Amino acid sequence: MFVRLFGRFTGSIKLGPKVYNAAMSPANNVTRFLDARKVIYTVYEFPPAKLGAAETAQLLKVDISQIFKTIVTTRGKTGKPVLAVVPGNCVVDLKLLSEAVGEKKLHLPTEVEAEEITGLQAGGISPLALINKGFQVVIDSSAQHFVEINISGGQRGLNIRLPVADLAKLTKARIVAISRPIIDE
């Protein structure tokens, strides 16, 4: 039996997470996929608003570098997009990512284009929700500093903490340095 942890917030974000057994937890394709593969994970549920990495880190009481966001990048004219999974306090370095996947150049689509490409809302884009859709996944090497990281659960308001090794294996991801810190201007 898997126990999943949920942070339900009703009006006040100071409420602590509550523990629910697997039968009581909300399910989506990502959680069903993880259950079928017997992956141990923790789910955090928030209001379905688009939260940034810093807000998510604050709510979960973890360092922002443990919150990973999925950035959609597109190739030239052909080929499926690449999903770059990078820490919340970093941006994807397109030059490093291009080198990692053997492309001359990659591009960042607009938020609307990313939603059209993936079929998911921004803030809910997850490599786990796009398995078997042909997307290439690259996880930033900083993930290896952690046993577990947090990523989107495939919909806004759902965050999943799971082992880095399981994420890489399930998504057939490469783990390479593909990010650089966000510099405040």
Bridge partners of residue 92, in order along the sequence? 179
Domain map of the chain by residue range? 3-181
Nearest one of 33, 35, 146 to 88, comparing CA atoms:
146
| pTM summary value | 0.86
Structure tokens at 137: 């996944």
Q: What is the reported pLDDT for 19?
A: 34
Q: Which CATH class is domain 3-181?
A: alpha beta
Give the Cα separation of 16 and 13 in Å (integer): 8
Q: What is the reported pLDDT for 15?
A: 40
CB contact at 8 A, 72 and 120: no
CB contact at 8 A, 46 and 157: yes
List, in order, residues 6 or more apart from 30 with CB less than 8 Å away: 126, 128, 129, 153, 154, 158, 160
The dihedral through the CA atoms of 80, 84, 85, 88 has a sign that is negative
Phi, psi of 25 (to 5 degrees): -80, 145
Cα 166-98-149 angle, rounded to 5 deg: 25
Phi, psi of 55 (to 5 degrees): -65, -45
User: Splitting the chain (185 residues) into consecutive groups of 10 residues, what average pLDDT does each group show?
Assistant: 36 36 63 91 84 89 96 89 97 97 94 95 94 95 97 91 97 97 75
